[in-house]
Chain A
Amino acid sequence: MIMKVANNAERIRRELLIRIIRNFMRGTLKDVIDRIAVDMRPRKERPSRCCVYKDRAVLKYRVMAMLGFGIEDEIDEAKALSKYLKEATERQAPDDNILSVLDVACSACVESQYLVTNACRGCFARPCTFNCPRDAIQVVDGQARIDHSLCIDCGKCTKVCPYHAIIRVPIPCEEACPVNAIKKRSDGTQVINFKSCISCGKCMQACPFGAILERSQIIDVLNAIKKGKKVVAMVAPSIVGQFPGKLAQIAEAVKLVGFELMEEVAHGAQMTTEHETKEFFEHMEQGDHIMTSSCCPAYVETVKKHVPLLQPYVSDTPSPMRFTARVVKEKYGCDCVSVFIGPCVAKRKEAQRSPKVDYVLTFEELGSFFAAMNIDVASLKGIKLPRKVEGYARGFASSCGVTSAMLKESTKTVADSNLDNDAKFINGLDQKTVKQLHLYGKGKLPGNFLEVMACEGGCVGGPCVLGDVKLATRAVKASTEE
């Protein structure tokens, strides 16, 4: 299981974001952008990689991704960041692919393998040698040795060693990917196969070298604000618990950044609930064995690309983001710019297919906007929210939230619903749960409603969150009861 921990890569990313946004706002970005790497890594300081020059090269590419470009697309290595910036401010729409592997930072982890550590005592019983189906282990000079030309990675030795002396060294990104979409090139660095990629962002979270980058849309949003357009922030329900401060204070902070106002996507979640509950009963009447949720875009993509059997049972109901965008464009005019802000990488992909959603930012990016503009959320007074949202709709942010919202809805419309009897959950996609999806598709597992969240814990456990998952889950729960 991957755990989200505070780490160095995360800090550097946030520091860069703050620098870029702050300088953009001041109008100085094009002058300083090619200096940022040097400023952050002066020659006198101790490098975090082999030398400051490599550190700087990696920083340059990080900035490139923050401007929205993929490292794969680089043609001229000498092209200055100021040139990229100019292109970014002139583009109409962000690019299709949203993740990018920074090969310079990728440490080309060794092919995953079993390794005997020096905890091995070369014991008398030697269960490793006896249990290895390929006789790949010998004890030489008092230590077990694995012959890697014979080893088939079955892992028996790790289980039988009384000292836990044999470990498996994984490739973190490959292990995290639920659908095997990231693989080694011949030089050992990783490459994403976008045909199978579901944009869940798990590889990005897992890589200890920070080598997987998200292509940001901050410049596009900043540009729209600068041009004086009406830019509406649509914040995901999981925003509760991401910042020290209440929703009313966050709404004020969002306005201070330059957004027209903040709309809660939880409002869209209300519409999703109503619609999805109706759809569920239709599916049941049709005689379908199951219906599944559809608000998690990484899950929807998984089904589309990898589990075709389940496709007919995925609900057609628009996600809360789409419903909200519809309302926003109706209310504020179709020339307003709608920006979804959430914890999610895959929403960028969904937004590309939703004409009413113009851009997507992450909570991390929003936090960087606040920091760059010296907006301290917790010390603001707070403003009135544009509309009242039902508490249950905020529950969409954590696992099982969709089902409990639907249960509430169905007791309202149908007296004796059979939804509660048979709801099932998949809390986090990985290689195992994707196999389960196949079984659900074939009708081999019980349940008539399946709620799937690609991230463990639901959206509060997303790849771009700021707050701790446990604390955030608690905050979301509290907000549903308000």
Chain B
Amino acid sequence: MTKKKVKVEICVGTTCFLLGASKLQEMERFLPPDLTGRVEVQGTACLGCCRNDNFGSAPFVKVDDTDVIANATLEKVINRVRRSLNL
């Protein structure tokens, strides 16, 4: 049985790109060993979250098509992925 993969969409819209998303794009390289192969990282166009005055919470990352993480950091994303996988 192939193991379930978690979809991680990193917003590379201009605002998120400027405020730190460019770094997150390489997150696959920094995954802890138990998560390698369990995450599917993609870039996505502006998620629309930067529109209001909360652009200060960029970069945004979407996990599992539903959950949007604000002020995304590698650590936050990894924790969220773990939750999805019940690890």
Contacts and interface: CB of A to CB of B under 8 A. Distances in A.
Contacts of B18: 14, 18, 364, 367-368, 371, 466
Contacts of B14: 243-244, 253, 367, 370-371, 375-378
A468 B55 contact: no
Contacts of B56: 15, 19, 40
Interface residues of A, number: 24
Nearest to A17: B18
Contacts, number: 58
A467 B46 CA distance: 18
Interface string B39-59: 000010110001100011000
Interface string A344-388: 000000000000000000001001101100111111000000000
**Listed residue (B13, B17, B51) with the most chain A CB atoms within 10 angstroms of its CB:** B17
Contacts of B12: 244, 378
Nearest to A14: B18
B22 A379 contact: no
Contacts of B19: 11, 14-15, 371
Contact of A243 (B17, B20, B23, B43): B17
B20 A378 contact: no
A75 interface: no
Given A6-B23, A15-B56, A18-B55, A371 B15 contact: yes
A243 B22 CA distance: 10
A378 B15 contact: no
A6 B20 CA distance: 7
A374 to B, nearest CB: 6
Contacts of A253: 14
Contacts of B15: 18, 370-371, 374, 376
A11 B55 CA distance: 12
B22 A378 contact: no
A38 to B, nearest CB: 13
B55 A378 contact: no
Contacts of A467: 22
Interface string A12-53: 001100110000000000000000000010000000000000
B15 to A, nearest CB: 4
B9 to A, nearest CB: 14
Contacts of A19: 56
B51 A468 contact: no
A399 B12 CA distance: 28
A382 to B, nearest CB: 14
A378 B14 CA distance: 8
Nearest to A466: B18
Contacts of A378: 12-14, 45
Contacts of B22: 6, 466-468
Nearest to A368: B18
A367 B13 CA distance: 11
Contacts of A379: 13, 45-46
Contacts of B45: 376, 378-379
A364 B18 CA distance: 8
Interface of A: 6, 11, 14-15, 18-19, 40, 243-244, 253, 364, 367-368, 370-371, 374-379, 466-468
What 9 A-B pairs are tightest by C-beta distance, nearest first? A371-B15, A376-B46, A370-B14, A376-B13, A379-B45, A367-B18, A6-B23, A244-B12, A371-B14
27 contacts: A6-B20, A6-B22, A6-B23, A14-B18, A14-B19, A15-B19, A15-B55, A18-B18, A18-B55, A243-B17, A253-B14, A367-B14, A368-B18, A370-B15, A371-B19, A371-B55, A374-B15, A374-B46, A374-B51, A376-B13, A376-B45, A378-B13, A378-B45, A379-B13, A379-B45, A467-B22, A468-B22
